[in-house]
Copies of this chain bind each other. A is one copy, B any other.
Amino acid sequence: KVKRVFITGGTHGNEACGVVLAKHFIKTPQLFAGFSFEVSVLLTNVASIASNSRYVDEDMNRCFLQKDLSDPTRTSTLEARRAKELNDVLGPKGSADAADLIIDLHNTTADTGVALMMPPGDELSHAIASHLISLDPSVRVCNWNANQNDWPMLPSVGKHGMTFEVGAVPWGVMDGAVYQKTRRLVLASLQYVEAHNAALARQPPGPWLPTSVQVHAFVRAVDYPRDADGEIAGMIHPDFQGKDFEPLQRGDAAFLSVDGQTAIPFTPKPPPEEEAEAEQLYPFFINEAAYVEKKTAFMLARR
């Protein structure tokens, strides 16, 4: 039974739709009255919200590994310290006291629609996602790297948790259509949780897990083409822009050279590396501005 749900905004302070939505939720607690569970809304990286920046010292959404949260010496950055404060409120991570569900509101400059990022084994988050897909087919499920036993993202502090990545929207922009869609789907998630609690309360308990949901499983990140100095030598090709979650074929124009004219094709890694010759790969987070510094032009998933 779900007892405590957190909705969090501003983990990246310049992802404005999520910040404005969290502020709106904080001012309208009546939206969360009458549920069989408690809903709390909070702003997470308040310093980065104030400066309208992704972060002050480091990306806070990489600060929630158990080993970092429990390391008392890891306090040199504002975000490392704030992550520990948040862990006290939302967690502690891995404990019986941790929140039952965390929904963390993000925006991306990529044309993801609504990409729900979650751990591969999180059944409740997958069930919510299945419900949201029935309401809005632009919702997609992306699984964090299955080769890890822990994840550094904020919602991993809860027993269940997911990131709402909604795009395309620029940093600092309150996009009305994106805002409306996010607000509707977050409220629908809570209604699903309410139905889930009601099903569990029946005798015998009702079923609630979905039969199946299509999952995009993270494979790897792809860097920009670079020149001899290591400088970016090409950008996302106009024909590739906005094609998140559409199949990417070997030889498709992925990049455009900085000469503005030359297409640079996509080349999967040949066997015996991780991408089998015949495997179909799906790109996502195409041209996410914040990933330039992470040397990521887009990510690849398999279904």
CB-based contact A236/B176 at 8 Å: yes
Q: Is the C-beta of A232 less than 8 angstroms from some C-beta in chain B?
A: yes
- Asked if residues A292 and B172 are in contact (CB atoms below 8 Å), the reply is yes
**Contact flags (1/0) for A6-38 with B, using CB distance below 8 Å?**
000000001010001101100010000000000
| Cα distance, A237 to B179, chains bound together (Å) | 10
Chain B residues near A174: list those with CB within 8 A.
232, 235-236, 287
Q: Interface size class for chain A?
A: 35 or more
Query: How far in angstroms is the closest Cβ of chain B from A287?
Result: 6
A193 CB to closest chain B CB (Å) equals 20
Q: How far is the CB of A36 from chain B (nearest CB, A)?
A: 24
How far apart are the CA atoms of A237 and B175 in the complex, in Å? 8
Q: Which residues between 146 and 181 of chain A lie within 8 Å of chain B, taking CB atoms?
A: 168-177, 179-180
* B170 with A289: CB separation less than 8 A: yes
Chain B contacts of A293 at CB under 8 A? 52
Copies of this protein chain in the complex? 2
Within 214-239 of A, Cβ neighbours of B (below 8 Å) are at 231-232, 235-238
Question: Is A114 part of the contact surface with B, judged by Cβ < 8 Å?
Answer: no
Known A176-B238, A177-B241: A260·B183 in contact at CB below 8 Å: yes
The smallest beta-carbon distance between A53 and chain B, in angstroms, is 7
* Residues of B with C-beta under 8 A to A232: 20, 174
> Are B173 and A23 neighbours in the complex by a CB distance under 8 Å?
no
- Contact: A109 with B173, CB < 8 Å? yes
In contact, B172 and A289 (Cβ under 8 angstroms): yes
Q: A102 an interface residue at 8 Å Cβ cutoff?
A: no
A99 to B75, CA, bound (A): 50
B172 touches A109 (CB 8 A): yes
**Chain B residues, CB < 8 A from A235:** 20, 174-176, 179
Q: Could you say which residues of chain B place their CB within 8 Å of the CB of A24?
A: 258-260
- Residues of A bordering B, CB below 8 Å: 14, 16, 20-21, 23-24, 28, 52-53, 109, 168-177, 179-180, 183-184, 231-232, 235-238, 241, 256, 258-261, 287, 289-290, 292-293
